[in-house]
């Protein structure tokens, strides 16, 4: 899986630095999270994330309920979605599991056991979900 952002391209006196709480370019689709492949067999899987962007990212694995699509989760006033029901998190630079985020140019991973169904992989750094950092992962029998 790869994550990236347009980060420093928009720097200057009229463009706030990302993660400062101002709307700026968040919500304009300037960030992406892409799974390779998008369909996998059920079982134990290691989700490996490479941060090709300029700011810190993370990936959370959440199940999608029937009728729910990726990108529909409610965003709180803190710019994040609820992580209730999370099956795993890759946010430790050059390591496994939860940490302080994946630094630019680094990788992280988490190993989870997935049953057949649909899952949403998302970045829950404030503002990143609204900026388009989510994708669906389908798990087959």
We report the CATH number of the domain holding residue 22 as 2.60.40
| Residue 110: per-residue pLDDT | 97
- Residues 10-18 have a mean pLDDT of 38
Is 9 a residue whose pLDDT tops 70?
no
| Residue 10: per-residue pLDDT | 43
Q: How far is CA 53 from CA 8, 26, 60, 65, 99, in A?
A: 9, 14, 17, 30, 18
pLDDT in tens, 20-66: 443 444 444 578 899 999 999 999 999 999 999 999 999 999 999 99
Whole-number Å distance between alpha carbons of 41 and 31: 27
- Tell me which residue range forms the domain holding 15: 2-140
pLDDT in tens, 72-114: 999 999 999 999 999 999 999 999 999 999 999 999 999 999 9
pTM here is 0.84
What does the block give as tokens for 124?
């829950």
Number of structural domains (the chain) is 1
């Amino acid at each position: 899986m790869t994550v990236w952002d347009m980060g420093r391209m928009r720097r200057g006196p009229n463009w706030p630095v990302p993660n400062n709480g101002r709307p700026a370019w968040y919500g304009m689709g300037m960030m992406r999270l892409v799974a390779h492949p998008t369909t996998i067999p059920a079982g134990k899987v290691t989700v490996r994330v490479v941060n090709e962007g300029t700011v810190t990212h993370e990936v959370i694995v959440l199940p999608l309920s029937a009728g729910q699509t990726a990108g529909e989760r409610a965003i709180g006033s803190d710019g994040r979605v609820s992580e209730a029901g999370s099956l795993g998190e890759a946010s430790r630079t050059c390591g496994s599991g939860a940490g302080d985020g994946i630094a630019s140019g680094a990788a992280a991973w988490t190993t989870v056991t997935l049953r057949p169904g649909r899952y949403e992989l998302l970045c829950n750094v404030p503002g990143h979900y609204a900026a388009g950092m989510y994708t669906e992962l389908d798990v087959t029998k």
